[in-house]
Each structure stands twice: as C-alpha cells, then as structure tokens.
A and B are shown apart, each in its own frame.
Chain A
Amino acid sequence: MSDRRTISVTINGEAYEREVETRLTLADFIRHEVLLTGTHVGCEHGVCGACTILLNGRTARSCLMLAVQANGQEIMTVEGIAPNDTELHPLQQAFQDNHGLQCGFCTPGMLTTLIEFLGDNPDPTEREVREAISGNLCRCTGYQGIVAAALDAAKRLKGKETAGA
C-alpha cells in the first residue's frame, strides 16, 4: 500500500541502494537505513540545523528533504570529513583545540555548515561566522568556542593552502 521506490545514493564516496518509502526523510534514511548515525535530528522542522549534510557540496537540512530526492546524488556527512580513521580534518582539530563542542549533538551540523562556508569565504570575520551558523542551534557552548574554532580553522586551512602551493 505504501508508496516505495528504490534509490541509490552516494554517501561519503560509497554507493548505497535501498528500497524506501517515498515519505522517508533524508535524515531518517541516513541515520536508520544506512546507519550513519553521526547526522543528528533535533527538531524536524528546519530550525536547529543538527541534521545539516552536504548535498553535492551544498549544505541542506536533511530533515527537510525526502530520501527519494537524493536519488543519484552525492552526500557528505560528518563521517566523511576526516581524511582517515586516525587524523582529524583541520576544522575538527580546531573544534577540539578551541572547546567548540560539549555534548556534541549540534556538532555534525556545525561542521558541515562551516565546511561549505569556509569554502565560500576563506577569510571570514567573526560577524560573518556568526551569521553563517545562525541556522545551527547549540544549547551547550554559547557559540564562543565554535566561532573561535571556525576562525582558527580558516587560518589553518589557508596556511595549508600556502604550504601546499
């Protein structure tokens, strides 16, 4: 009776094919079908940003998309940010070094949002960082550590670029 479709979605470089109900949200697909539970759900009405993922490189709230809409697309979740199992991405390292997380629940959404933002704006001001994460609620940190981490990460990422060039 229920409306179902088979979809194929690439997440963090790996292809997943699943038959799903068409009303299944992308967040639930990622968390409960593919079992990548790093992406979190905090409101299911588009305000908290905990469910933010990168869809073809652009942030999106996965609670406001249907899984079927991701058919054939590329997704990156928090699990896909670090370069390997032992190292952290410079943004993640900056979060640890600046106490940018406490309970860690908002963190995946913060990281994915900032990955996109620092790509758009590699040299941001504090105000710009605060506006960039205005769609991500954190109840623990008061944002201070997160903002510091983002500014620190911008420096680290630029340093890396210059070093590599």
Chain B
Amino acid sequence: MISKTISSKKDSGSKSRSKGNGGRQLSLLEQVAPARPAPARRAEPAPAPTRRDDTARQSGAVRHRLHEEPRTPEAEAPAAAAPLLATAAPPPRSKRRATAESMAAQQREISVAEFFTKNRHLLGFDNPAKALLTTVKEAVDNALDAAEEAGILPSVLVEIHEINEERYLVVVQDNGPGIVYKQVPKVFGKLLYGSKFHRLRQSRGQQGIGISAAGMYGQLTTGKPVAILSRTAAGRTAHYFEITIDTRKNQAIPVKDEIREDWPGVDHGTRVEIELSGTYKGGRRSVDEYLEEVAIANPHVRLVYQPPRGKEQRVFERVTDELPREPQQIKPHPRGVELGMLMKILKESKARTLSAALKEDFSRVTSKVAGEICAAAMVAPNTRIRDLSGAEIERLYSAIPKVKILAPPTACVVPIGEELVRRGLEKEIRADFYTSCTRPPTVYRGNPFAIEAGLAYGGELLGKAEDDDETFGPRESGQFGPIQLLRFANRVPLQYQQSACAIFKAVAETNFRQYGLSQPRGGLPQGPMVLFVHIASVWVPFTSESKEAVAHYPEIIKEIKLALRECGRKLSVFLHHRERARNQEKRRSIFELYIGELVESVHKLTPVDRRKLQQQLLGLASKFTGQQEEEEALEVGGVKPDRKAKGKTDRNGDANGNGGDGEEG
C-alpha cells in the first residue's frame, strides 16, 4: 500500500485528490464536512480545508507528510522529499531574502523519525503522563494482535517500574508467536514498518508506527535503547536485542544482539522494555484505567499488571477460553479506494489485463462488474496494465460510482459479541443492571465495520458518582454527573479526544431522557452508568495517527445510535421495573407504619387480639400493594394532608361562596 510513485502534492492541484491512503485521507475530509456522502465527493476538486478548526487542519496536513514518507522507500527518498518540503516550508516570495539557489542549499530529505521528534504529539506523546500510557498501550496492542493472529489465547504481563518520579521502565511481555531474529531491528527501530498496514484485516495496530515510536520517544528522553527478548518456539533459541534508532535515516542500530539459549518458562513470546521519561498517575486516563478497559473489551485475555510504587499487583482473569474468530483479510472494495490507491493497485497488479486486475485485486468485482466499469470509463477491458495511462485510470476512478457493485463481505469483522460485552462489563464493574447489543456488520466507504454497545447501571457506580461531585443523600438521575463513556476501536480503549470522536457525537445526539436518564442538550447523559461503545472494522477511520478519536462517518454514527437505542430501551425497562418495585416497597412500609397505629386504636375502641389483627393486616398489605401499580402516590410521605381530597373540599367550599365555614374558632 505504500506508494512508490504517487506524489500527492503534485496531484493536489489537479481535478481529483489523489492523496493516497484512501480511507485515511478521507477520514479527515469526512471530519471536515461529515454531512456529505463520501462517494459523491471523490470526483470533486479538493475543498479548501478551512472549515474546521485549525488544529484539525494542521494535523491533517502534517499527517499527509507522515504518510507520504513511507511511500518513499529509502532509495527513492529524494523524489518524495521535494513535494513534502514544498508544503512544509513553502519558498518565500520575497526575492531579497532568499534565492532559489540559496534555498536549494537548504533543501534536503526530512526523515520520518526526525519529523516525529518534532511532532511527537501526533503520536500521543504530548505530555509525560500520556507518554507513559501510549507506550504501554502500543506494546499491549501489539502483544494482543500477535497472539491472536497466531491463534494463541493471550496472556500479557505489564510492569511499570519507577526509576524516579520522571522516569519509568515499561515492561510488556506476551505469549505470542515471537518475532523472527532478523525482523526485530526493523520492527522496533524503524517507523512505519509493520505487517498490518498493507492489508485490510481487523487488528489493533494498523499503521506500523506504534512500537517504534514508543521506542524512539524513550530513546529521545532517556538515551536508553529499547530492549527486546523474543522466542518463536520451544525448541529454538531466544534472542535479545538492544536497539537504538538512527532518527536521520529511520534505521535501527542494534547496540546489543545476543543469543539466549533458554528463556525459562517461556516457549514463545516477546518481551519489550522501554525506558522513558513520563509520569505515573492513577484515575482517569491512566495506565490503570486503560488496562481495566482492555480487560472489559477483551474477555479472552489474561492480564497481569504490576503498577509502580509498590502498589499491589492486579490480575485480570479471562472470562472466556475462546479466542475471537479469526478476522478474514479482504481485498479493497472499489468504493473504498482513492485515486492514488487505485493507481498503485493497478500498477502493482500481477494480472495482465485491466479487467483481470479489477477482478483479482478488488472484492466484489465480477467479470460483469469489471466490464461495466471499463465501459463507463471508456477503456478497453483487455488493455494491458502497463499500457494504462494516468488519464485512463482517472476515468476508471470516476466510473466506479456509476456501477452497481455489491457491498463487501462483512464476515471479516469480528465483534466481541453481545454476551461477552456484557460479561466483560460484569467482570470489571459491579452494577445493578447490564445490557449489550451487537449490530450486524455494515459498510462505510467500502470498509466493513460493526458497532456494539453495552452499559452497566447503578450498583457501585452510585457510590462512585457520589465521591465525584460530593453531594449526599438519595439522588435522582440528574443529581449524578455525566456517565462514563468507554470508547473502543478494535478492542482498544480510546482515552483521549472524547469530544472529537464519532462515538461521543452519536451518544450526545441520542436522547437518553426517553430512557429515564437526564441529559443536558448536546451532552452526555447523566446518571450512575458506564456506557460501552465498540467499533470493529478492517480499517478504523481515526482522526489522527495517535488513534484517539473515530472520524465522523454518517454510516458509523447511525449504527452507533441504533445500538445505543437498543441498550437504552432495555435500560428503561429495567428502570421502570425498579421504580415500580421501589414504589411498592415504599407503599408497603407506609402501610406497615400505619398498621401499628391502627391496631392500637382499634384495640382501644373495642378489645381485639392485637397480634392477630396486626398479622392479618400485614398479610392484606402485601396482597393489596401489588394492585396499585398504576397509582402514583401524590404524597407518598403523607406529610401533608392528601392534596387530592383537600382540593376537592376546597373547590366545593369556594363554589359555595363559603370561604371556610369557619364555625370553629
């Protein structure tokens, strides 16, 4: 998928936006103008990205550069460097200050690694607390991806050692397949090197940046190399590496490279150690919280977590021994590719003719569909691939939306599943009520995805909310703060940029008042509730490389809302039932209170067996309380005289012009 030839900057002025990386790029544009249907926009000239706030625009622009870089294999670096530079530092117009020649002297390649060091916030290393979290997160994501891909039930150990208050050592060890010897330096020492970017398959990692970025951050802040111990099978030796990264060349420099004859107790797996400057904290958005959420969304994972500062070790046991179904890799769907991607795929195709390439390299393209695309584009189906001109490819690209093509197969997405979502919540949160909903998979811009939602209500959350805003006494839903929203993408907790996320938008736009919660306009509902939303997709459209927020695709938002509604309905049934039970309870206790008085009075009037009468009345109380479901007590406490009855007398009193037959003084 990394392009060798497309230079998006050159194309950006032309009639279509060929910025490569189809889905990724589009995701940003979606964010800019989410209301527009994506396919229609393909043939349009690139809109000036000025409609959103500056940060979005900036990160979008920068992201480009990041993404263009990988399309440039080392050998061809200069070719891509020029356009890159053009955006990064446009040549000043003023002739006095610089000449083309003087500038030429300064123009040189910017390596991804170098770029990263200056823009570390893009990858989630903007502050020390977040840096520690991101490091753990990248390593854990990889561990889980690797184990699952190898069909191993993941067992992961996470340790955080405090070296001093500003420096930590992160250790993540998995029982995955390990990494073969010669790959280790590249995986850990080279940004944008990975196995997941080039395919359409649901996984946690997708960019090939994660772990090397964490390593690089560690190296930059502490000067320490990344240490890796890995073993691929019981009979084989383990190898130990210490790797530093040459940021100029985006290359790994192994400073230590040893064979370990044995790795006691570990047949296969990988252990990564990164020392970095950061800060450890608990609470919201902490490593602790991240791991708790991982445990919720990954009920098949066993996690052992050793926090720093002598805190007690935490073990998150798995609730199921079943691995999630293996996600199938799929070919790109014609509707999901950008022009640049289309060019790349066609150029790299092993097929000889155009129609064969369309059939073989895309999903849902039959001979008939291929023929229709070619016809609409006015390109002969048997044109040889290497003879295809740029103009022809552009025509093919414009032709795709005109042809009917079946949506891509959706079996390739693997949601957690309704039951496991609920069990995951049950495991980590002690609530009164749980529910969940998994939507059938569907498609946004040619990419299959599935949404699931779940919620936990009441129980310990009542107390938690109380601590949060320091109010006491019995509380209505509105007296609680906002609910806790847990967002997940391919089972990875998303902890930052909540309000920029499609999930947040869908929640805020769902009316939870109808389900019995209070909710400020355009905000999260309020109440003792944890809400869980997961998007599973072959390609999750994040708004930036740090993978923190899901882009606002209308199809995605709609699905989330549907899932939320189903959970909401179940919640409201529960709340209704509980309310009813409570009222019954309240009623019964009022009756019990009055029965005691009544029995005494009756006894005074005419002697009775008080015990017996009391028992009989209590029996009648439970017999009759159930019958009053519908009747809402006007004044359950009975502190004031019954309004209904009093109002009646008053009205009549008035009607009779007798403002009170105040015959008593």
A binds B: no
Which residues does B use to contact A, with CB under 8 Å? Answer: none
Which residues does A use to contact B, with CB under 8 Å? Answer: none
